[in-house]
């Protein structure tokens, strides 16, 4: 990689491809964000099931996943239904009902930016990590502020109860492993649809 500073460009989790090597096919599940949820939501935000659904009982209710060790993730927001009252609204404002598309496939590899807490070496590959929400999402771009914690609060480690598994550095000329804010490829380790690190089955809400 080139010797440079990485652009601090947060975008949450971005689907890249499947574990079998095929590109991400864009498939997602329609979910519901209720007006009772007072958290603004953005594309790339990780979410978890909230134990309910929309009035029709078709679309599961989701909320922003809690960052940190032991917290499950159901999927990642990839899009929002258009708001007919404001087509320019690229995010979901707090305390407003809106439908969103969520990538819930546990075999999808995501790209994520590491936070500025530490520079991560090549020995980071294969370790687990957690999410960190130091920054809010952008109401201009609609993109999430979620990042992978590089050591600001919790450094990557071999820990089955961490939320992510680090697969490798994103192979791009503008991505420098020797600087902070490098982009990494990860899979969701604590996926709501997969067995837990304790050997249990999929954990319901």
- Secondary structure of residue 123 in the 3-state scheme: helix
Note whether residue 66 is domain-resident: yes
- Token pair belonging to 55: 């009035």
Instruction: Look up the pTM and report it.
Output: 0.93
Note whether residue 151 is domain-resident: yes
Pairing of strands 98-103, 128-129: unpaired
Pairing of strands 108-113, 183-188: antiparallel
Domain count, the chain: 1
Residues whose CB falls within 8 Å of the CB of residue 107, separated by 6 or more in sequence, listed in order: 18, 19, 20, 187
Note whether residue 108 is domain-resident: yes
pLDDT in tens, 49-83: 999 999 999 999 999 999 999 999 999 999 999 98
Provide the domain limits for residue 98.
Answer: 14-188
pLDDT in tens, 130-175: 999 999 999 999 999 999 999 999 999 999 999 999 999 999 999 9
Note whether residue 167 is domain-resident: yes
Note whether residue 9 is domain-resident: no
Residue 122: DSSP 8-state: G
Note whether residue 3 is domain-resident: no
Confidence of residue 91 (pLDDT cuts 50, 70, 90): very high
Note whether residue 5 is domain-resident: no
d(CA 32, CA 98): 6
Note whether residue 1 is domain-resident: no
Q: Is the pLDDT of residue 16 over 90?
A: yes
Confidence of residue 22 (pLDDT cuts 50, 70, 90): very high
Are the C-beta atoms of 15 and 9 separated by less than 8 Å? no
């Amino acid at each position: 990689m080139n010797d440079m500073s990485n652009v601090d460009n947060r975008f949450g989790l971005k689907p890249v491809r499947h574990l079998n090597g095929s590109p991400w096919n864009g498939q997602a599940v329609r979910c519901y964000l209720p007006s009772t949820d007072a958290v603004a939501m953005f594309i790339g935000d990780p979410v978890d099931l909230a134990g309910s659904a929309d009035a029709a009982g078709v679309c599961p209710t989701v909320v922003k996943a809690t960052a940190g060790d032991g917290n499950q993730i159901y999927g990642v927001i990839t899009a929002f239904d258009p708001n007919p009252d404001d087509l320019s609204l690229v995010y979901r404002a707090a305390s407003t009902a809106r439908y969103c598309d969520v990538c819930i496939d546990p075999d999808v590899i995501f790209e994520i930016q590491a936070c500025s807490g530490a520079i991560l070496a090549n020995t980071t590959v294969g370790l687990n990590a957690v999410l960190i929400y130091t920054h809010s999402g952008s109401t201009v771009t609609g993109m999430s502020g979620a990042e992978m914690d590089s050591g600001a609060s919790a450094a990557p480690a071999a820990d089955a109860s961490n939320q992510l598994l680090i697969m490798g550095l994103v192979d791009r000329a503008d991505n420098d492993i020797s600087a902070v804010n490098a982009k990494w490829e990860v899979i969701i380790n604590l996926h709501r649809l997969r067995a837990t690190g304790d050997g249990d089955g999929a954990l319901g809400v």
